[in-house]
Amino acid sequence: METDFSSADYLTGQLLIAMPAMGDPRFSKSVIYMCVHNEEGAMGLIVNKLADELSFAELLTQLDIESLGVAPQLPIHFGGPVETGRGFVLHSAEYNQEGTIEVAEGMALTATIDILQDIAQNRGPEKFLLALGYAGWGAGQLDGEIQQNAWLHVPADPDLTFGADNDAKWEHAIAKIGVDLSLLSGEAGHA
């Protein structure tokens, strides 16, 4: 059974939450900020998993970007399994430059080197999350996964999206829905 999504049903600007029985280990207990969701597909950034192999200082060195003094110790997130060498900065919308895309009220996305230079020199956005790679779905793919009980969704909030406690983000996102974790299952129910 195919569901037609109206634009009001699209999840751009919301958090996608992996169900406990998520079969893909890359997405186990993941929380994804949805940057785009429309009839053509979906794209989001995992906001609660770190990319351990690279520090911000190493990234700046690789890109030949100078910082003011010692480079800040900033976490780099694993944004998803697609194009893992490509960087994205999800950030508060007060920061805007050429190439910045407003995602939702108060949230923007920039994928240029300029924003990394600004962050390194303390001229970047007030709140931000740096990610390598992204999560992507083809047309109708995410909608099908939601119907198969792979994902829940909840309105995003900056505290959860940009918060430092990555280990607690999944539980906090589930709690926003008001669902008891012990009652969640990956199985579809039948009456």
Residue 71 pLDDT: 65
* Gyration radius of the chain's alpha carbons: 17
Residue-range domains of the chain with CATH: 7-183 (3.40.1740.10)
Q: How would residue 182 be classed by pLDDT, with cut points 50, 70 and 90?
A: low
Q: What's the pTM?
A: 0.87
Q: How many CB atoms lie under 10 A from the CB of residue 62? A: 9
At residue 45, what is the residue type?
L
At residue 143, what is the residue type?
D
Separation between Cα atoms, residue 86 and residue 186, nearest integer Å: 32
**Residue range 12-55, pLDDT digits in tens:** 999 999 998 888 889 999 999 999 999 999 999 999 999 977 88
Separation between Cα atoms, residue 57 and residue 70, nearest integer Å: 8
Q: How would residue 186 be classed by pLDDT, with cut points 50, 70 and 90?
A: very low
Separation between Cα atoms, residue 180 and residue 1, nearest integer Å: 28
Give yes or no for residue 159 having a pLDDT over 70. Answer: yes
